[in-house]
Structure 1
Amino acid sequence: MRLSEVKCNSLKNPMGIDDRKPYFSWQIDTEQNQIYQTAYRVCVTDEKGQNVWDSQWVTDQTSTYITYGGKELESKTVYTYEVAVKNNCGNILYSRGNTFETGILDQKEWTAQWIGRKPLTENSVKTDPVNQGQILLDMMHGKDVDFKPDRKLEACNTFVKNFVLSEKTPIRKGRAYVTALGIYELKINGMLPTAQRFAPEFTAYDTYLEYQTYDITEYLHGGTNEVSITLADGWYKGKFGMLGFGENYGSELAALLQLEVVYENGETQTIASDETFQYYTSPYVYADIMVGANYDARLEAAEKELHPCHVSKLGYDKLHGVCAEPIIITQHLKPLVLISPQGDTILDFGQNLVGVVEMKVSGQAGDTIKLEHSEELDKDGNFANYIDGFNRDQTDFYTLKGDFEEVFLPNFTFHGFRYVRVSGYPGEVKAENFTACVLGSDCVVSGTFKTSDVRLNQLQSNILWSQKGNLLSIPTDCPQRERAGWTGDVWVYGETCCFNQDCLNFMKRWLCNMREEQFEDGLIPIIVPYSPGYKDIQLQSFGTHTSAGWGDVMIAMPWYLYQIYGDKSVLEENYEAMKKWMQYVEKEASEGVNLKESEKNDPKAIARQKYLWNTNFHFGDWLYPSCRKENGESDMIGSATTTKEHVATAIYANSTDIMSHVAGLLGDTDMEHYYALLNQHIREAFEAEYVDSNGKIDNDVQGLYVMALAMHMVSEKKRPLLAKQLDHLIQDNHGCLDTGFMSIKFLMDVLTDNGLHDTAKTILFQNQYPSWLYEIEHNATTIWERWNAVLEDGTRTITSYNHYAFGCIGDWMYRNLLGIQKLAPGYKEILIKPDFGFGLSYVEGNYDSVYGTIAVKWRIENDQKKIWVKIPANATAYIELPGQQRQKMGNGVFEYTVCRI
């Protein structure tokens, strides 16, 4: 029995935090049953070994989010903490030697200055909002667009300085505090002190910028040392978004760098970025996150022409320490080498992924190799590109210097791909010389799921790979086209996301950026971070910066995180922003009146309008499959306009319901009652406006019935009528779903919760378009943006083949097929309730909760259902099996057998 997963701020030994009140968590790892914590004690000491906090023994079962309560923390200090726990068996468990390190807590401690090639400028994008908005609408309507954004690409520059450290006094500690406008690579004496890539990552640059803290002690030595930092465009200057514009935040890059060396005698030495730094042109001819990287290795040995740098007085107001996991290379894949019918040499990595390709090569100086990346080949097996938009090259170039063997690992760019076309490679292209390096934020995989059906296993694999590819600094919609933080995708997918990976810190940071991007009137934009280019396009295209469901992630995501991780501080941090969003929605709904002709003389109809969010643009049940133009193409805008007011009002009700619970948890009883009453009014207005006496909705499509049932928008009397009509619509659609972006999240739950189990089974195992298994049978390895990205005849369409939103079925599979359900926040209380009625012979999986691993394995053999369950210490579980009453298990390992009834 021991303590494990001992963390500060949900991170192991974090470095550079600027939280003055960090929190601590731990787990009890044991093979014994019925183990509970009875008391805990946390002691924290500073670098001198002096005690700064002793919680004393606290009689409590709490083992998560224990807030520091000691002396004020000091900047740039390593703190050591010890956790002691008593359990119900009388044991005392210890975990010693854990650390956390503060960053720069006071702006006055920054001595570094911002350095760059030229003076910093404001956003220099020459935007024409009207033109950009019309271009986008034309593209969405399938029209040919005669437009190309700026293609300017510039070389990356490296800023460098030599400095001298004492040769007489040993170095005790060295730290680097670094950030940039752009992205950077730091080297100390030619060595990388970190595995992190793309630092400082993507944030709301105008108001929020993170700095990183690195331990550089082992890279320093007495005498002359060199520090260098190479800058690339990244999201600050690089090309991304709908139309592929660059310079979204500015046209000039800058770095901020502060090295602090502490000697054994206590003396300190600071090396800070200033006018003494110089810069030279790096071997990167250019490096853009979308276009790709062009590296000329001959420039490595070329004489460096040094130039003076420019110092800008930007200040430190928007700087914050790191609070989440960094982007790193998470795994490696090897390819097969193919020769296409057209004679191209193509690498097939067997998996749609996000990353770059590392290449080994020997050849003549000046030889140039071209690596082109794509998600799909055409139906004949030839290389093709199906990415819509501009500046989406996803192409890397490498020019050899002529060494015996050279290794090229592109930096400052990433691609969404499975296939790579190789051109210009000297000699035979061998698989052993190429490796796909998968990139993503280092969020630990926390859930597994496996069944007796290989198709469902592939579906789970597709879900996880799509998620890992789109958790890269922010949660993106897709990794190959826009790479933007579309908020609606997270509203749909957030719960599945948090089962598959530990996303607490990742999402908390994104929510912090969301609060920064919130408008004064409470509006939450459709994308976070919300770059200037997107603001122009969205406003002109749709007349608003937000949409129901998309903006409502401000309500849903804090709630998801609280429920899944039990972290109440997420609600506290976001409560004011959540209320502001609700105030915005309430104002929009109440001020807009969208009466039908028949309602203009109806006092009741007029009175209920303020509870219907039926004005302005919303995406509605975006991309529901049956919404098509006369030519058969998907009608994106039509899917929005035909469903927007029903979906918006249902989500409005859902958000008020969540807000009532949140207000109650935070002790705001007035708002708890206010939102509960508002929720009641909205639901009553919805039923009166849209649902007739026979339970039919005025727009008779599947998704609206799903939303109405999921959000409890009709009386209990009418629920069976709506469920019956939903079932009828599914049967009329040959047992296929017809749900869009918002309703798909709730489809399976609505079916199983309303007695439509057979229909749910049909939907789950359906392999005709549109369905999840249609994608599997068309060789998908990630989740598609559109159900028919690949047509029946194998034709590929222009769309995203890595778009996690429709993977939200994962949450239902984990709760229903595997049977792991939470009864209390953070899975402090758990219900094990697997559904054996989907024709599977076994299901197994686990979820790593904040208390430890919850595992379930069940198998049907000879009409017997055998279930094995593991519950972590300090949690309590209940089990509910067919023909039996719910019973309490507690925690530990348990086995059950249910005979045929």
Structure 2
Amino acid sequence: MLSLDRLATGRADAPLGIDRAPDFSWVLHCRTPNTLQVSYRITVTDGDQVAWDSGEVASRQQAFVRYEGAPLRSRTRYQWTLSVRDSHGQKASAHSSFETALMHPGDWVAAWAESSIERAVPEAWAWGTQPPAVLFSRDFDVPGDVVHARLYATAYGTYLPQLNGERLDDREFAPEHTAYGSILYYQTYDVTRLLRRGGNQLTLYVGDGWYLCPHGRPVMQDYHGAPAVLFQLEIHLANGTSVIVASGEDTGCATGPVLSSDIFRGELFDARQPFGTPQPVRLPDYGYAQLAAQPMAPVRPFGSLAVQQIYVSPRGEVIVDFGQIIAGKARIRIDVPRDTEVTFEYFEVTDEHGNYFNSMIADQKDVYVSDGVARDYETRFSFHGFRYIRVTGLNQLRERDFVAIPLTTEKADAGSFSCSDGRLNRLYENIRWSQRNNMMSVPTDCPTREKAGFTGDIQIYAATALLNEDVTPFLDSWLRNLAAAQADDGVVPMTVPFTTLYERLSLGVGKEFGDTQITGIAGWSDAAVMVPHTMHRLTGNRLVLNDHYDTMKRWADYVIRTARERRGAAGLDPAIDQYLWNTGFHFGEWLIPSQEQPGGPNWQIPKISAAYVAPFFGYLSVRLMGEVAQTLDRQADAAHYRGHAARMKDAIQRAFMANDELPWQLMGAYVLAFAFDLVPPEHTTRYATKLVDLLEANGGCLDTGFVATPYFLDVLTKIGRRDLAYELLWQAKAPSWLYAVDKGATAIWESWKAIDEHGAPKLTSFDHYAFGCVGDWMFRNLAGLRSGEAGFDHFQVVPPDDSPLAWCRARHETVHGTVSVGWDAKGLEVEVPVNTTASVTWRGRTHSVGSGRHQFS
């Protein structure tokens, strides 16, 4: 019997508050083997009115089906009905819904309310100098019984809303981290149950967030440096009338116990400080054009962690250990006399003796000053990356008084991996933790030192991210911000959102490379093309290609134009040079282990390695742009980019590959050359031998940087040395993945040797997901689970016949349903969801199978 579930609108279940045409998806279930969807029909209604009837569509498509009906109306709950017919003649139907928010700027009647309280200028790197959080409040009456109420709200800063003293939900850090000059998300809340007849009070407590923090300040014109809120509460009463309560001149502002609010550093909370008398607000005209309904799920708690131990370090420090690095905060029970100051300092690792170690240089701490009343305390406007807390000011610590609260943007779980090697299982868990910890509103590099949306990190990690969680709404949101951050000339900045801190860094470092303005960065800015391309490859999502096509095209055109207009290395034939992207600032092979130096970056290596990283990645972006254009049937563009990519490849080969060796004695140059299919056939054997020689000369350890490491294991497999790929993955000496595991890592490190052989840590991040990109290879080459060209419509299962493992299992929740693979010495079991097919290769034979569970011995 055919059935339907997981009906989703924009990959969410019955979302509340959308402001653009949604897309629909669903999952089919049927015990009859070899079942395919033959057709679907979607009907969207508003009461008795049909807004869209797709008609019966002969198609296997069951995800990313965009609404194509009449313009959607604001503040409206729509029902949608799905009918599906399968290849056995069976039919099934199901229903779901979605609700629109404020579809047009003209729907807003609220006025911006800005704090009029004087703000001190914070010192850039000094904890506790950030100004106090501001409470915006509005008292109002409800003249009847409430049947339906929605609050639409946003802020400059991060806000915590309450109605009649009760939080509206458990989200954190609304309105999220965005390209504020162009995009500011607003949130929609169902507040029906919280309103009461008579007097009510709505408050929005606003901390600095990313927008007001010196380290998170956005690059934008007309920056206004004070907290501000916009809210519109629409109440429908039982008597048929409605009431709107909006921000404006009736809004007041005051400060209270949060005396310093810094999303990077932490907060100072003085429980003795009551909220002051509300002051009048300013009413600036910030407009509504930048407003957009939040398109992805909010940041929320992800369970909780109990204390593993509380101990006194050799230095006499009281340290609380949760046993796992997280990004989030702690809930702490505090019962001390009035005026007692308690300090909580958060950190990721101890030194080799078990003492406090500040690996991020700057402070991560919260300070609480007691009013003598026992209460649970947790920071309101900050998050920390930590496993440990150093506590001062508490005489008695009990394990039950501390709970760690991991935070992450909420996403559906989409994958699992386990095998007979416990160290690989711990590596996979580290990958999952770093993914959760670094998907906090935007994909960040680390949750401590920078908290920044570095484009390079997500570019190399996107495939693993998609296998682990349903990150489609999350990445689509980030790509919208990337488009907003893209410059007029096509340049994509190193971080999205782009902040003044990284604008200064880009301009400052760029001078070392002869730049007078911000330029695109190879392997980082290429995320504009590579992230959407990866999303399509793993999910079949054509909408992401359509929606971000102009951004992708502008980036590819920038690469082509820059190569044509700027000359690179002296003496290179201009006829070749015009097809090489070889100028401007680039990180190059960032973090090559053998080239790391204490005290800061070695900028010589970026300069040297950029000579191949930039032209190679420039070629890849243009080539992939041709593939995207072909996928979307934009034939003229496809021919243009394919042709130009061919000329770029020819120029690369003529400039760098005329000899038996590359000009650079660096592993990454050979890895990228093979990975991007740039090696001329006549040099394949020699280049492969050279790469193996370099690996063996380095003691069987990798010596690749940020952008080459993701390809290393695949390249070894490609050149026929899968044995070396296994050796590299199982390598226990540094630099290697398992070295960190053996050193007790609970997340992925930024530096391969973040802790030395003697247990001494260095100043680096211990929670950087980028090198967790190996998870993608583990799914494909250990479990043998491989997607097709565009999602899992047809996929491959190819478990290795020479694996060092005794058994392996993997699961992935595709848009079609659950795909699972499990193999051991006895045989192989594969689960194929409805509406998909698979090619299964096991013990030398290939089988073509349809939906159902299949066993092979």
With the shorter chain as reference, the TM-score category is: over 0.9
TM-score (norm 2): 0.96
Q: Hey, what does 1:425 align to over in structure 2?
A: 394
Letter in 2 for 1:16: G
* Structure 2 residue 411 is the aligned partner of structure 1 residue 412: no
Q: Hey, what does 2:283 align to over in structure 1?
A: 311
Q: 1:270 to 1:120 in 2, by over 3 A?
A: farther
CA distance in 2, matches of 1:109, 1:160: 22
Cα deviations across residues 337-391 of structure 1 (Å, max 9, x unaligned)? 1221112111111111100000113232332221110011000001110114xxx
Q: 2:171 aligns with which of 196, 208, 212?
A: 196
Is contact 2:186–2:291 with CA below 8 Å preserved after alignment?
A: yes
Q: Hey, what does 1:91 align to over in structure 2?
A: 90
Q: 1:150 to 1:352 in 2, by over 3 A?
A: closer
Q: 1:842 to 1:831 in 2, by over 3 A?
A: same
CA distance in 1, matches of 2:272, 2:128: 25
Q: Hey, what does 1:779 align to over in structure 2?
A: 744
Cα deviations across residues 141-165 of structure 1 (Å, max 9, x unaligned)? xxxxxx9579632211211121111
TM alignment of 1:440-589, pairs within 5 A: 440-542=408-510, 543=515, 544-589=518-563
TM alignment of 1:154-553, pairs within 5 A: 154-167=131-144, 170-240=145-215, 250-299=224-273, 302=274, 304-335=276-307, 336-388=309-361, 392-403=362-373, 405-426=374-395, 428-542=396-510, 543=515, 544-553=518-527
Deviation at residue 221 of structure 1 after TM alignment:
1.5
Q: 1:636 aligns with which of 591, 602, 605?
A: 602
Letter in 2 for 1:803: H
Is contact 2:116–2:253 with CA below 8 Å preserved after alignment?
A: no
CA distance in 1, matches of 2:130, 2:51: 52
Q: 1:589 to 1:778 in 2, by over 3 A?
A: same
Q: 1:411 to 1:577 in 2, by over 3 A?
A: same
Q: 1:780 to 1:303 in 2, by over 3 A?
A: closer
Letter in 1 for 2:75: K
TM alignment of 1:723-734, pairs within 5 A: 723-734=688-699
CA distance in 2, matches of 1:247, 1:291: 26
Is contact 2:785–2:799 with CA below 8 Å preserved after alignment?
A: yes
Q: Hey, what does 1:136 align to over in structure 2?
A: none
TM alignment of 1:58-207, pairs within 5 A: 58-96=57-95, 98-118=96-116, 148=125, 152-167=129-144, 170-207=145-182
Deviation at residue 720 of structure 1 after TM alignment:
2.1
SS in 2 for 1:718: helix
Is contact 1:870–1:892 with CA below 8 Å preserved after alignment?
A: yes
Cα deviations across residues 146-193 of structure 1 (Å, max 9, x unaligned)? x957963221121112111123xx322100000001110111111111
Q: 1:744 aligns with which of 701, 704, 709?
A: 709
TM alignment of 1:1-20, pairs within 5 A: 1-19=2-20
Q: 1:721 aligns with which of 670, 686, 696?
A: 686
Cα deviations across residues 114-151 of structure 1 (Å, max 9, x unaligned)? 11212999x9999xxxxxxxxxxxxxxxxxxxx95796
Letter in 2 for 1:396: D
TM alignment of 1:734-813, pairs within 5 A: 734-813=699-778
CA distance in 1, matches of 2:330, 2:125: 28
Q: 1:90 to 1:264 in 2, by over 3 A?
A: farther
CA distance in 2, matches of 1:840, 1:249: 56
CA distance in 2, matches of 1:465, 1:797: 21
Cα deviations across residues 534-573 of structure 1 (Å, max 9, x unaligned)? 2123112223343111111101011011111211111111
CA distance in 2, matches of 1:120, 1:176: 28
Deviation at residue 92 of structure 1 after TM alignment:
2.4
Q: 1:277 to 1:588 in 2, by over 3 A?
A: same
Q: Hey, what does 1:707 align to over in structure 2?
A: 672
CA distance in 2, matches of 1:305, 1:119: 12
Q: 1:683 to 1:790 in 2, by over 3 A?
A: same
CA distance in 1, matches of 2:628, 2:154: 36
Deviation at residue 716 of structure 1 after TM alignment:
2.0
Letter in 2 for 1:63: Q
Cα deviations across residues 593-638 of structure 1 (Å, max 9, x unaligned)? 23445x5xxxxx3310111122222111111112256xx7785312
Letter in 1 for 2:278: L
Is contact 2:219–2:499 with CA below 8 Å preserved after alignment?
A: no
Q: 1:890 aligns with which of 829, 847, 850?
A: 850
Greater displacement, 503-512 / 34-43:
34-43
CA distance in 1, matches of 2:118, 2:639: 50
Q: Hey, what does 1:610 align to over in structure 2?
A: 578
Q: Hey, what does 1:134 align to over in structure 2?
A: none
Is contact 1:356–1:437 with CA below 8 Å preserved after alignment?
A: yes
Is contact 2:116–2:280 with CA below 8 Å preserved after alignment?
A: no
Q: Hey, what does 1:875 align to over in structure 2?
A: 836
Structure 2 residues without counterparts, runs of 5 or longer? none
Letter in 1 for 2:146: I
Letter in 2 for 1:354: A
Is contact 1:650–1:711 with CA below 8 Å preserved after alignment?
A: yes
Deviation at residue 248 of structure 1 after TM alignment:
12
Deviation at residue 887 of structure 1 after TM alignment:
2.1
CA distance in 2, matches of 1:804, 1:680: 33
Letter in 2 for 1:810: G
Deviation at residue 38 of structure 1 after TM alignment:
2.1
Q: 1:59 to 1:266 in 2, by over 3 A?
A: farther
Deviation at residue 406 of structure 1 after TM alignment:
1.1
CA distance in 2, matches of 1:262, 1:800: 50
CA distance in 2, matches of 1:248, 1:767: 52
Q: Hey, what does 1:140 align to over in structure 2?
A: none
Structure 1 residues without counterparts, runs of 5 or longer? 127-146, 600-604
Deviation at residue 647 of structure 1 after TM alignment:
1.1
CA distance in 2, matches of 1:813, 1:334: 30
CA distance in 2, matches of 1:149, 1:505: 36
Q: 1:634 to 1:841 in 2, by over 3 A?
A: farther
Cα deviations across residues 198-256 of structure 1 (Å, max 9, x unaligned)? 00010011111010000000101211111111111000111436x99999954211000
SS in 2 for 1:536: helix
Q: 1:266 to 1:720 in 2, by over 3 A?
A: farther
Deviation at residue 464 of structure 1 after TM alignment:
1.0
Letter in 1 for 2:393: G
Deviation at residue 36 of structure 1 after TM alignment:
1.8
Aligned residues: 849
Deviation at residue 688 of structure 1 after TM alignment:
1.8
CA distance in 1, matches of 2:152, 2:336: 40
Letter in 2 for 1:161: R
Q: 1:49 to 1:224 in 2, by over 3 A?
A: farther
SS in 1 for 2:467: helix
SS in 1 for 2:681: coil
